């Protein structure tokens, strides 16, 4: 069974640009959540999607957005990039069923904003 | 708001020895879930162990066990017979409601197992 796949693994962007990151969950999983990991703020929850609907959202500005497709693949977009957006972005895949708590993480996308 | 605190930024242990990582949390909820995740250099977060707050019995997974003290809001991880492959960052995490996948993570403890 394939794991969670995040693409690309590394990305360098310029301040002011926008970026799109992709996450393919484990086959059969319908929930995808996103986290930002930085040395200063640690791991922070961005949002969670289930069956193409955003169910939960963290405390991030509107520049951070996401979506989920009918095949459960998810993308997150960051517009007007700032230097502080440099981080490891982790995607997690889950079955999304009531009572479930386990998330399977991908290896992340390392975004550097210059 | 819930918080998770890991007060040990770095720890080291000799191979085959036992080490305990500390975690405290704060919440007003009566039912919740606690986790320890491991992040090796590959960056992929791997679930080590999970504890449901309504279960009094401490969770155990092979060499990994927890000491869950609900009244003290403490959730420590004990690694027995430490192996070189245990070298990683360890994160304590809290989830208030099952099915939200909204983890609140601590700042992590970097564990190094020495040969």
Which pLDDT belongs to residue B42? Answer: 87
Residues B56-99 have pLDDT tens digits of: 899 999 999 999 999 999 999 999 999 999 999 999 999 998 88
Residue to test with chain B: of A4, A43, A46, A51, most B Cβ within 10 A: A43
Check B99 against A98: CB less than 8 A apart: yes
Which pLDDT belongs to residue A106? Answer: 95
Check B44 against A102: CB less than 8 A apart: no
Which residue is it, tokens 């990994």? B64
Which residue is it, tokens 């693994």? A9
Check B102 against A107: CB less than 8 A apart: no
Q: Note if the bond before A8 is cis, omega within 30 degrees.
A: yes
Q: In the 3-class helix/strand/coil scheme, how is A30-52 assigned residue by residue? A: CEEEEEEEECCCEEEEEEEEECC
How far is Cα A111 from Cα A49, in angstroms, rounded to an integer? 21
Check A43 against B99: CB less than 8 A apart: no
Q: Is the pLDDT of residue A1 over 70?
A: no
Angstroms from A83 CA to nearest CA on chain B: 21
3-state secondary structure at position B40: coil
Residues B29-65 have pLDDT tens digits of: 889 999 999 999 989 999 999 999 999 899 999 999 9
Residues A29-84 have pLDDT tens digits of: 999 999 999 998 999 999 999 999 999 999 999 999 999 999 999 999 999 999 99
Mean pLDDT within A83-92: 97
Angstroms from B59 CA to nearest CA on chain A: 15
Among candidates B50, B101, B105 on the partner chain, residue whose Cβ is nearest the Cβ of A31: B101
Query: Searching chain A, which residue's CA lies closest to the CA of residue B98?
Result: A99
Name the DSSP class of B72. T
Angstroms from B15 CA to nearest CA on chain A: 27
Average pLDDT over chain A, rounded to an integer: 95
Contact status of A30 with chain B (Cβ, < 8 Å): no
Among candidates B35, B45, B99 on the partner chain, residue whose Cβ is nearest the Cβ of A100: B99
Nearest to A26 by CA among B16, B12, B44, B63: B44
Residues B18-30 have pLDDT tens digits of: 999 999 999 998 8
């Amino acid at each position: 069974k394939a794991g969670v796949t995040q693409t690309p693994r590394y990305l360098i962007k310029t301040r002011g640009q926008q970026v799109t990151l992709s996450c393919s969950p484990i086959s059969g999983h319908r929930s995808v959540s996103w986290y930002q990991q930085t040395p200063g703020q640690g791991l922070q929850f961005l949002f969670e999607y289930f069956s193409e609907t955003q169910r939960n959202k963290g405390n991030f500005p509107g520049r951070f957005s996401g979506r989920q497709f009918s095949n459960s693949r998810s993308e997150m977009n960051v517009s007007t990039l700032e230097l502080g957006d440099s981080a490891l972005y982790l995607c997690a895949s889950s079955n999304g069923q009531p009572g479930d708590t386990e998330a399977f993480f991908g290896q992340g996308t390392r975004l550097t904003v210059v | 708001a819930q918080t998770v605190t890991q007060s040990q930024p770095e720890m080291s242990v000799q191979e085959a020895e036992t080490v305990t990582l500390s975690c405290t949390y704060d919440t007003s909820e009566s039912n919740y879930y606690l986790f320890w995740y491991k992040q090796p250099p590959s960056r992929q977060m791997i679930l080590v162990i999970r504890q449901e707050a309504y279960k009094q019995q401490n969770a155990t997974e092979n060499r990994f066990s927890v000491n869950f003290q609900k009244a003290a809001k403490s959730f420590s991880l004990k690694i027995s017979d430490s192996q070189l492959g245990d070298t990683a960052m360890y994160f304590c995490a809290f989830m208030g409601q099952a099915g939200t996948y909204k983890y609140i993570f601590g700042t992590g403890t970097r564990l190094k197992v020495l040969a």
